[in-house]
Chain A
């Protein structure tokens, strides 16, 4: 159980275009999802907390108009990178809150590798 999917797994786009990444919890409902970005050989940096039915909470330094988050249902959150630039190239990973052994934890999606040319 507790499977999280992400789509697409890989995307290449031109500078100035927008890219949407989907995160789905497949076998459980997730009222809260999280979005991270990870540069090569670095740690996961929390970008924002996505709450179903309400606005996302962004971490300090993350532009909310640049990274649009929508959590439209209990199983789907989307991250849209607007007007992407080469410096937005990164590995984007979502996670969803779920239960493991009766305790709440986070389950990660497989990640989306974004390359902006």
Chain B
């Protein structure tokens, strides 16, 4: 199956700074890459996603980039706020079943 690696495992930034989380995947057949935010004890919430036919996608303060050749994708959060503090997971999805294989997670702390 797919193997997704995620770095860093923990990240602390000052409020207003940017945060970048990186993921790599192993299966070139993966074609969908969502990012989820999970607060303690709660369900993962989809925050942004990208498909393999697109190189970059942006939604307000959040952006995702995809490099298919290198098989890596990144999450960029600008102007971070304390409420951005959570665990973030990347995932890769392989057709046809479209199962999600998750990265190991990044615990982001935004320091006020």
Contacts and interface: CB of A to CB of B under 8 A. Distances in A.
Interface of A: 32, 34, 41-46, 49, 57, 59-60, 93, 95, 97, 100, 103-111, 113
A60 B97 CA distance: 15
B104 interface: yes
A72 B74 CA distance: 38
A111 B43 contact: yes
Interface residues of B, number: 23
A46 B43 contact: no
A57 B97 contact: yes
Interface of B: 1, 32, 34, 36, 41-46, 49, 51, 89, 97-105, 107
Given A42-B105, A43-B102, A108 B97 contact: no
Given A49-B97, A49-B99, A109 B43 contact: yes
Q: Chain B's interface: helix, strand, loop or mixed, by majority?
A: strand
A113 B43 CA distance: 12
A13 B107 CA distance: 31
Given A34-B100, A105-B49, A43 B43 contact: no
Most buried by B among A44, A110, A113: A44
A97 B41 CA distance: 22
A103 B89 contact: no
Contact of A43 (B34, B49, B51, B89): B89
B41 to A, nearest CB: 8
Given A42-B105, A46-B100, A49-B97, 15 more contacts: A34-B100, A42-B104, A43-B104, A44-B44, A44-B89, A57-B97, A60-B1, A95-B100, A104-B98, A106-B46, A106-B100, A108-B36, A109-B43, A111-B41, A111-B43
